[in-house]
Amino acid sequence: MGTKNKTISFRVNEDAFAALRDIAEERDISLSAVFRDYVDSLVAHDGQVRVVPEADLENADDGRESFPPTIEVPKSFVREHERLELEADHLREQLEEHKRYVNYLREQLDEDDDVIHLEDLDGEPDEPSFRLG
User: pLDDT tens, 5-25?
Assistant: 777 777 888 988 888 888 888
Q: Which is nearest to 67 in space by CA: 83, 45, 85?
A: 45
Percentages (nearest 5) of helix, strand, coil residues in the chain: 55, 0, 45
> Is the per-residue pLDDT at 3 higher than 90?
no
In a domain, 64, yes or no: no
Asked if residue 68 has a cis previous peptide bond (ω within 30° of 0), the answer is yes
In this structure, the answer to whether residues 82 and 50 fall within a common structural domain is no
In a domain, 86, yes or no: yes
Q: Which is nearest to 79 in space by CA: 67, 71, 87?
A: 87
Residue 85's pLDDT is what? 94
In a domain, 44, yes or no: yes
Residue 79's pLDDT is what? 93
The C-alpha angle with vertex 111 and arms to 116 and 120, in degrees rounded to 5, equals 15
CA 78, CA 71: separation in Å to the nearest integer?
Answer: 13
In a domain, 99, yes or no: yes
CA 116, CA 128: separation in Å to the nearest integer?
Answer: 16
Q: Which has more pLDDT, 124 or 72?
A: 72
In this structure, the answer to whether residues 79 and 50 fall within a common structural domain is no
Mean pLDDT, residues 76-96 taken together: 94
Per-residue pLDDT tens digits for 39-72: 888 888 887 777 777 677 666 555 555 666 677 8
Domain carrying residue 84 = 75-112
In a domain, 60, yes or no: no
In a domain, 90, yes or no: yes
Q: Which is nearest to 48 in space by CA: 65, 69, 68?
A: 68
Residue 62's pLDDT is what? 53
In a domain, 131, yes or no: no
In a domain, 132, yes or no: no
- The tally of domains found in the chain comes to 2
State the DSSP H helix or E strand holding residue 38, giving kind and residue range, or none if neither.
helix 31-44
Mean pLDDT, residues 81-107 taken together: 94
